[in-house]
Structure 1
Amino acid sequence: MQKLTVNLWMQGTAEEAGEFYAAALPDARTEIESRYPTEGLLEFQQPLAGLPLTVSVWVRGTKITLINAGPEFSPNASISIILSFNADERDVLDATWAALSEGGSALMPLDAYPFSTRYGWVTDKFGVSWQLMESAEPVPDSTRMMPCLMFGGVAQNRAAEAIEFYGEVLGAKLDSAFPYGQATEVATADSLMFAQFSLGEDKVAAMDSGVAQGFSFTPGVSLEWPCEGQEEIDRVWEALSAVPEAEACGWLTDKFGVSWQIVPSNMGELMQRPGAFEHMINMKKLVINDF
């Protein structure tokens, strides 16, 4: 059962993006999950009154959330989404690449590489990065779609440290790790060219960039982690939050720069309470009894 959710910051385009992804991605559908209230908004939120707040996109049964907001942030390639395809799905891979490339740009062209017979890395017109990969071995359902954290810029060469830290805080378990073996422009020989770890049933990839990057993690792509009860929220929040000024509405930034949303597992139910949105926007760490 999915627990970790990738959240993508959209600059007022969440509904449009949801429809785009439902058409572009394999086995995908979209739904407006929640709307902004018409009252109790902060001044900068008032133009969004009544508009979609969160738009869900399910891809091969895995949910992504699009957050409808302002121009403050946008996604970048520090967190991309890997879509893996079986060898007999090349037509689907190629069609997905063509759809995502429309209005976007290729970071690595669709081609054969030493690690995959068909692979490409593309940033779509909404700024979201996707890695499409053909696999010679049958792809397990758990890795058909997974986020990939690229540690570059100020977070360069910290992928292994991050996986160990997420193990201590969230119970992450390392599945596989492939170091570079020899130094690159910015990566050390021990840095991770690619790794995969598990957060419960969810799979996450991580890598240290092999070349210098002028960007790193931002709230443009965040990871949502639900907690069972206030005690668990308190524990995870205290362990993860490393940038006090970034704390807002259940959002935090960890010591690697990764943005997380630490929410109660019954968040949907809490948001149905009268005045819940207004209460939420006045919190930093979410307190269940304050909804």
Structure 2
Amino acid sequence: MSRLIYPCLWFDHEAAEAADYYTSVFPNSRILEKNPIAVEFEILGTPMMGLNGGPKYQQTEACSYFIYCGAEVDIDKLYGDLMEGGKAIFPLGSYPWSPKYAWVTDRFGTNWQLDADPIRSPQKMVPCLLFVNENRSRAREAMEFYLGIFPESNKLMEAPHPGSEDLLFAQVKLEGYLVNLMSSTETHDFGFSPGNSLVVTCEDQEEIDFFWEKLGAGGHYDRCGWLTDRFGHSWQIIPKDLGQWINDPQKGQKAMNALLKMDKLCIDDLKNPA
């Protein structure tokens, strides 16, 4: 099974502007759908969403997006484009883990890790969760937690910190979707934030109930299908046809009104709102 999982980026009001920019600088990228609240788009053929959520949350360096450039992406040009109005966490150069690598925070606050190495997967953009501060030794725990929830998932690789069992880096496949996990032993002034989340699409109410309960265990549950797991990372658990229901010309506004009153999403009440 290959479930649709994709990142959501929180913006104050610039989601459409950011999506237009990203689809102009990344190859094989396009806008899929726009409305005043959200924009769906693809980066290197991989789905992503931008959300106009207001100023409540900001994106964080604890969530970044690896771009495995290989021969398909001009890393020098991409670095130059993303640096316009942005800043370099790691300037483009050679590092022990890659012959050509950079970490950039762009002008919209999104973090990208650019790696000249190729990847043996059609998914060239891979979300990365960075475990820091009180979470610095929990990357392995998180990896096992996620692998235990998503069926047909597996660990692809792991690298511990030198002289430690704690994970420095790992890559997992959650029902066909690649996710990287990293940790840092340094003290940072950031952590996870709802400004970056992962969306999990579900076929039916049983799946919504399952992922809602399992991913939220030990964390906390929020409105509109959002939850924060025990590590502080945010997820959205939604039915696969949610967009169709809230964009329906006759029932869409009622469906949206119903959604705004929910914590866990109820398919029956969204599909046939009162």
Per the alignment, residue 91 of structure 2 pairs with 109
Matched, 1:145 2:120: no
Partner Cα separation in structure 2 for residue 6 and residue 62 of structure 1: 10
Residue 231 (structure 1) shift: 1.3
Conserved 8 A contact 2:45-2:123 = no
Task: Give the alignment of 1:66-85 within 5 angstroms.
Answer: 66-85=50-69
Conserved 8 A contact 1:26-1:96 = no
Task: Structure 1 unaligned segments of length 5 or more: list them.
Answer: 36-51, 183-188
User: C-alpha deviations, 1:258-291, integer Å up to 9, x for none?
Assistant: 1000011222223223411111000000011111
1:141 aligns to what SS in structure 2?
coil
| Greater Cα offset, 114-123 or 265-274 | 265-274
Residue 143 (structure 1) shift: 4.3
Per the alignment, residue 160 of structure 1 pairs with 140
Partner Cα separation in structure 1 for residue 199 and residue 65 of structure 2: 15
Alignment partner of 1:258 out of 226, 229, 233: 233
Partner Cα separation in structure 2 for residue 167 and residue 115 of structure 1: 25
Task: Structure 2 unaligned segments of length 5 or more: list them.
Answer: none
User: C-alpha deviations, 1:131-158, integer Å up to 9, x for none?
Assistant: 00011xx532344110011001232211
Alignment partner of 2:45 out of 52, 61, 74: 61
Counterpart of 2:44 in structure 1: which amino acid? R
Counterpart of 2:66 in structure 1: which amino acid? I
Partner Cα separation in structure 1 for residue 108 and residue 135 of structure 2: 24
Residue 89 (structure 1) shift: 5.1
Counterpart of 2:159 in structure 1: which amino acid? F
Per the alignment, residue 18 of structure 2 pairs with 17
2:107 aligns to what SS in structure 1?
coil
Percent identity among equivalent residues? Answer: 37
1:102 aligns to what SS in structure 2?
coil
1:160 aligns to what SS in structure 2?
helix
Partner Cα separation in structure 2 for residue 66 and residue 191 of structure 1: 33
Partner Cα separation in structure 2 for residue 210 and residue 143 of structure 1: 29
User: C-alpha deviations, 1:242-270, integer Å up to 9, x for none?
Assistant: 444x5110000000001000011222223
User: C-alpha deviations, 1:11-54, integer Å up to 9, x for none?
Assistant: 10011111111112222222443x3xxxxxxxxxxxxxxxx211
Residue 235 (structure 1) shift: 1.6
Partner Cα separation in structure 1 for residue 185 and residue 80 of structure 2: 27
TM-score normalized with structure 2 length: 0.91
TM-score normalized with structure 1 length: 0.86
Alignment partner of 1:282 out of 252, 261, 268: 261
Residue 240 (structure 1) shift: 1.6
The RMSD of aligned alpha carbons is 1.6
Partner Cα separation in structure 1 for residue 193 and residue 106 of structure 2: 17
Count residues in correspondence.
Answer: 263
Conserved 8 A contact 2:128-2:179 = yes
Task: Give the alignment of 1:150-189 within 5 angstroms.
Answer: 150-171=130-151, 172-182=153-163, 189=164
Partner Cα separation in structure 1 for residue 144 and residue 121 of structure 2: 25
| Greater Cα offset, 17-26 or 269-278 | 269-278
Per the alignment, residue 128 of structure 1 pairs with 110
Counterpart of 2:260 in structure 1: which amino acid? I
2:213 aligns to what SS in structure 1?
helix
Conserved 8 A contact 1:15-1:32 = no
Residue 57 (structure 1) shift: 2.1
Residue 221 (structure 1) shift: 0.4
Partner Cα separation in structure 1 for residue 165 and residue 122 of structure 2: 27
2:116 aligns to what SS in structure 1?
strand
Partner Cα separation in structure 1 for residue 32 and residue 124 of structure 2: 21
